[in-house]
Amino acid sequence: MEGFLHQIVSGIATGSIYASISLALVMIFLATHQINFAQGEMAMFSTYIALTLIQAGVAYWAAFVITLVLSFIAGMVMQRTVLEPLARAPVLASVGAFLGLLLIFNNIAGWIFTYTLQPFPTPFGAGAPILGGLLSRHELGSTAVTLVVLTAVWAFFRYTKLGLALRGAAYNPVSSRLVGIPVANMLSLGWGLAAAIGAIAGMMVAPIVFLDPNMMGGVLLYAFAGALLGGITSPLGAVVGGVLMGVIENIAGAYIVGTELKLTTALVIIVVVLVVKPSGLFGKPLASRV
């Protein structure tokens, strides 16, 4: 029983990291109806930037903040230079651009930082597991950080004027433009936010899985599954779905299929969701006008 409880609690801890990537994916999907296949590699690259800063002697939290700012700017620049011009092109063009970005980030990271696994520091200290041995300090700390981020994002969208403008731009670009919202800027802002959230997830997951250019492959797949499970049109759903995926991963790994089929588990969940309930737990069914 103790073991089972441990699997659930630590599943929630990794799940909260998946949840932030799922949220970043859903934000971009809602704004542009595109799925960002490069989200994971962007987060991985941000984490390398953080590591470089820390190795250069910058304090952890200072490096954390600098990385966020840099990722935010990079996200905005990418939206402006690569994605914006392809906004009205067929689906294939945007998928191609995302895969291009994925390849570029992955290989440039391998080129600059090599493919060897590197340890990434945690700001929460090593020490013995806490809460009766259920959680490591890092798991508790990273869950807290993600919760703060998710709450902040929610509050931003719910209570600020900028958040409202962003939602408007995503929901109905034409009308938003008519009431004076700079829609293009809002989309860049959304991209910046998604990149920054991804960077946080990268820095939180790196101490657990170690840093290497392919670190985010599995994480991204679980985030996809989480976003679909929760409903690709629902930010709340993305968070719930992401956390659920963390728990499912641990339970399946410990009791059902073992860790060797981790990625296949995600594939099965994606297919099951698409067959049984394509709109996910919280999403709206997608309908198109005929």
Partner 1 sequence: MNQTNSRMLLIVFVLAAVIVPLVFASGYQLFQLTLVVSYALSVLGKNLVTGYGGQVSLGQGAFYAVGAYTAAILMEHFNVPYWATLPVAAVVTGIVGLALGLPALRLGGLYLALVTFAMAVSVPQLLKYKLFENWTGGVQGIVLLKPDAPFELPLDADQWLYLFTFAVGLALFIAATNLVRSRIGLALMAIRDQPLAAEAMGVELAHYKTITFGVGALITGVGGALGAISIGFVSPDSFSIALSLTLFVGMVIGGASSISGAIYGAIFIVFVPNIAEQISKAVPGAIFGLILILFMFFAPGGIASLITAQLRRLKAVR
CB of 51 to partner 1, least distance (A): 18
Q: What is the rounded distance in angstroms from the CA atom of residue 170 to the CA atom of residue 32?
A: 7
290 touching partner 1, by CB under 8 A:
yes
In the chain, the DSSP E strands lie at: none
Residues contacting partner 1: total by CB under 8 A: 46
CB of 190 to partner 1, least distance (A): 18
Contacts of 66 (CB under 8 A, 6+ apart): 50, 53, 58
Considering only 17, 42, 53, 101, the residue that binds partner 1 (CB under 8 A) is 101
Q: What is the rounded distance in angstroms from the CA atom of residue 282 to the CA atom of residue 8?
A: 22
- Please state at what angle helix 216-230 crosses helix 39-55, rounded to 10 degrees: 130
- Which segment (46-54, 105-113, 124-132, 186-194) binds partner 1 by CB under 8 A? 105-113
103 touching partner 1, by CB under 8 A:
yes
Nearest CA to 125 out of 108, 109, 142 is that of 142
- Please state at what angle helix 137-159 crosses helix 161-171, rounded to 10 degrees: 80
Q: Where do we find the tokens 């704004």?
A: 31
Per-residue binding string, partner 1, 209-248, x by CB under 8 A, is: --------xx--x--xx--x--------------------
CB of 258 to partner 1, least distance (A): 9
281 touching partner 1, by CB under 8 A:
no
**Interface with partner 1 by CB under 8 A: which residues?**
33-35, 37, 82, 85-86, 89-93, 95-97, 99-108, 110-111, 217-218, 221, 224-225, 228, 260-264, 266-267, 270-271, 274-275, 278, 290
